Structure 1
Amino acid sequence: MPLEVSDYRAPFWLPGGHLQTLVPRYLRRPQLTGEPVEIELPDGDSLHAELYRARDPEAPVLILSHGLEGSARSGYILGMARVGLAQGWSVLAWNLRSCGPTLNRTPAIYHSGCSDDLDQVIRWAGTHCSRRLRLGGFSLGGNVTLKWLGEQGEQARERGVEAAATASVPIDLLACVRELERPVNWLYHKHFVRSMKRRLKAKATQFPDHYDLDKLASLSTLWQLDEHYTAPLNGFRDAADYYARCSGRYFLDGIRVPTLLVTAGNDPFFNASCYPRAQAASSDHLHFEAPRTGGHVGFWGGPNRWWLEDRFLSHLG
């Protein structure tokens, strides 16, 4: 059931996908303080998260997953947490492994398909907060969310997940990496590569016997970092195997709860393979919406107005 018509239009003075991606990043500065929680994992690791409790202990819980090199303190996460609280929900924003203010305690790092970690977050929320759950995912976190939903199928509803909303999701990981490596996207690509290298160096300091950084200085692309680090560190044969097994597009057909996917038509990170119109058209559960404008996790609506937050609420509510 595709939603091809959208009421979102970027401001006339903010033309193009690049400005619509970058400007909101610097204008969005929500202030919010949550309760720090630690979610223990079966392999001895733990995930750091922030919990914003609603007054009603029976209120639904909105679980938020951040994007590549983001955290539970990213502006889009805090903004969504704020409106979720205003709606009367509790909100649980989690940091993927090695993200956030504190490194995780095992050598493991996050990746685009870590739905097993999201599964533990959902299990924790259902035990400690409420059995009524909603999921929200942005960019890489949206891919993790869609993958989990597809893997769970009907069980997602049985475990309390009532609805999910995702935005700007790289459902074709290889295509996204190739788009980011294009010269026109050098600014984003350079930022992600630098940030990932810093993270790998920090983990190597923490676990010097586990990380071999001899090749790191010579690597200059996301694909190379995935080929030499992300994939082997997470049990994949290589980058191609990693992308093939974790891209969200391969899990969309298994979704069985009402799920929204919003992707701007001018998102600079994506090509046509990240717009699943045909799969949405044949699904009773996936709602796909592609505004012509909005950039990547942008969708600015004016001072203190964020269209994407309202769109998530209208779907999740």
Structure 2
Amino acid sequence: MFHSTDHLWSPLLRVLPSALILLLIYFGITFLRSISASRIRLLHSAKPASLIPDGSLTLVDLVKNAVPALVGPESGFRSVWWLPGGNAQTIYCSLGDFSQVDPIVYERKLLCVPDGGTLALDITPPFSAQPLEVGEPVVLVTHGLTGGSHESYVRAALTALASPEAPRFRAVVLNSRGCNGAPVTSPKLYHAGTTDDIRNAVLWICHTFPRSSIFGLGFSLGANALTKYVGEEGPECPISAIVSLANVWDFARGSPHIERGTWMNRFVYDFVLGGALQALLGKHRRIFYEDPASPLPSALLDEFLPRKNVRLREYDSAITPRLYGFEDAMDYYSAISSCRVVERIAIPCLAINAGDDPIVTVDNIPVCQILQSPWVIQAITGGGGHMGWFEPSTGGGRTFERWYVKPTAQFLLAIRELGLAARPRPRITEDAARGMRLQEGRPDIGFREVEEEAVVSSGTGESKLFSGW
């Protein structure tokens, strides 16, 4: 006897049209997002700076002619299909497995600085593999929150800029105090506006590479510190040009966005950022307990370090003001923001932010100041998240690559090829009593190389959860 199976299929047939509609809506939204994400907005002054004396090449001309990732038929960021939206791009930056991607070998130099602290500089290619060449260009790199030279986003850029196969620059990564194995030898860590440690590193570079042009590359909080340093130095800046990636720009404006923004901001990112800083302090707690000069009372450490679920402002209210001499969190946010010094920047600066960055809203970008600055060009991509910018790979056996590497390398190489006039350099004096080299007029800026060198391989290990922001 034949038994009809129509009754078995009928529920599926009723659901199928709705499922197809939802599927079409999903792919439609993904397609529209990809179109939006591919677009790039450029903000710059109507009177950009001239890069050569006769005025025939402006900063905007250089970007249009030499940075095809930003301008022209090859421009635009197009996300991989499986990371739609800023949150997915941002989270994958921290949770993805990059252990076999972009391995970099560094040579580490430890510098003792005048306040008793120690800086860890990671150099690639190592001098042991590629001896120093007179006049070789150097790029100083500053990383994100609690990050270091090991971060995947740093390694991706340096693979293009400083790999042994195509050494275009000698890279010097400044690992902030306490980060990535940098020892803490004074009761002081670092904050998002720390610029004196950049000065210490620049002084070492000027001494070690006396005839080299210096360039800069900053990521996230490191981008803010580097940009702030360039603005503070003004016309006397020793650096020839910088790229500022995912710069926070305005912490006073950005703090409410973290605290009261989207669900992810309030219940994920706020705790991740605060927890990362708390963990860094906890890792180096011993010196803050034992050093008589510690600005953090033991009672405060006893109460704060065991706390669970620490928000960013909690750390910046309880710890940061005492550690660095600010009145409160808002005084700190206002003082450290690089948006305050945009008008003083006097070297080529390319800034790149993502329009869907969940950490740094586009409202943080100081549009008015940038439009008045002849030296700053701000690019805003439609997508990319915070320090993600994962796009389909164009070769090399990979499934994806980091888009920002292209405009970064194109811009810095174009500036290098121009052969701009030498920048002013700080004068170096000797302090025989301490065995230090100091910056003339700034006894608080200087260095002494510590007789301990190490070869550091990055790419075989992984960062801590959500580190590097």
TM-score by length of 2: 0.63
Hey, what does 2:151 align to over in structure 1? 74
Contact 1:175 1:270 in 2 (8 A): no
Structure 1 residue 59: Cα displacement: 1.4
Larger radius of gyration: 2
Hey, what does 2:221 align to over in structure 1? 140
Contact 2:231 2:342 in 1 (8 A): yes
Contact 2:360 2:386 in 1 (8 A): no
Report Cα offsets for 1:44-93 as digits up to 9, x if no partner.
Answer: 21201210135661210011000112112111112222211135210001
Hey, what does 1:51 align to over in structure 2? 123
Report Cα offsets for 1:236-264 as digits up to 9, x if no partner.
Answer: 11111111111111011110100011000
**Count of aligned pairs between the two proteins:** 314
Report Cα offsets for 1:277-307 as digits up to 9, x if no partner.
Answer: 2222221100100011110011112235221
Rounded Cα–Cα distance in structure 1 between residues aligned with 2:400 and 2:139 = 21
Hey, what does 1:203 align to over in structure 2? 284
Mapping for residues 120-269 of structure 1, pairs under 5 Å: 120-130=200-210, 131-156=212-237, 159=238, 161-182=239-260, 183-185=263-265, 186-209=267-290, 210=294, 211=296, 212-216=300-304, 217-218=306-307, 220-269=310-359
Contact 1:107 1:203 in 2 (8 A): no
Contact 1:151 1:254 in 2 (8 A): yes
Compare 225-234 and 268-277 and name the one that shifted more: 268-277
User: Which runs of 5 or more residues in structure 2 are unaligned?
Assistant: 1-41, 45-69, 393-398, 414-469
Rounded Cα–Cα distance in structure 1 between residues aligned with 2:269 and 2:111 = 31
**Alignment equivalent of 1:305, drawn from 401, 424, 446:** 401
Structure 1 residues 108 and 278: alpha-carbon distance in aligned structure 2, compared to 1, 3 A threshold: same
Rounded Cα–Cα distance in structure 2 between residues aligned with 1:280 and 1:27 = 36
Compare 54-63 and 126-135 and name the one that shifted more: 54-63
Contact 1:9 1:291 in 2 (8 A): no
Structure 1 residue 10: Cα displacement: 1.7
Task: Give the match's secondary structure for 1:163.
Answer: strand
Hey, what does 2:384 align to over in structure 1? 294
> Counterpart of 1:180 in structure 2: which amino acid?
I
Report Cα offsets for 1:130-163 as digits up to 9, x if no partner.
Answer: 531000000000000110010001111xx2x111
Q: Sequence identity of aligned pairs in percent?
A: 26
Contact 2:278 2:310 in 1 (8 A): no
Rounded Cα–Cα distance in structure 2 between residues aligned with 1:179 and 1:234 = 24
Structure 1 residue 177: Cα displacement: 2.9
Rounded Cα–Cα distance in structure 1 between residues aligned with 2:252 and 2:167 = 37
User: Which runs of 5 or more residues in structure 1 are unaligned?
Assistant: none
> Counterpart of 1:228 in structure 2: which amino acid?
A
**Alignment equivalent of 2:85, drawn from 8, 16, 25:** 16
Hey, what does 1:88 align to over in structure 2? 168
Contact 1:51 1:92 in 2 (8 A): yes
Contact 2:175 2:182 in 1 (8 A): no
Rounded Cα–Cα distance in structure 2 between residues aligned with 1:213 and 1:137 = 31
- The CA RMSD over aligned residues, in Å, is 2.0
Rounded Cα–Cα distance in structure 1 between residues aligned with 2:93 and 2:310 = 27
Task: Give the match's secondary structure for 2:90.
Answer: helix
Contact 1:41 1:47 in 2 (8 A): yes
Rounded Cα–Cα distance in structure 1 between residues aligned with 2:288 and 2:381 = 44
Hey, what does 1:119 align to over in structure 2? 199
Compare 172-181 and 253-262 and name the one that shifted more: 172-181
Compare 283-292 and 124-133 and name the one that shifted more: 124-133
Compare 234-243 and 23-32 and name the one that shifted more: 23-32
Structure 1 residues 290 and 150: alpha-carbon distance in aligned structure 2, compared to 1, 3 A threshold: same
**Alignment equivalent of 2:138, drawn from 55, 61, 64:** 61
Structure 1 residues 124 and 304: alpha-carbon distance in aligned structure 2, compared to 1, 3 A threshold: farther
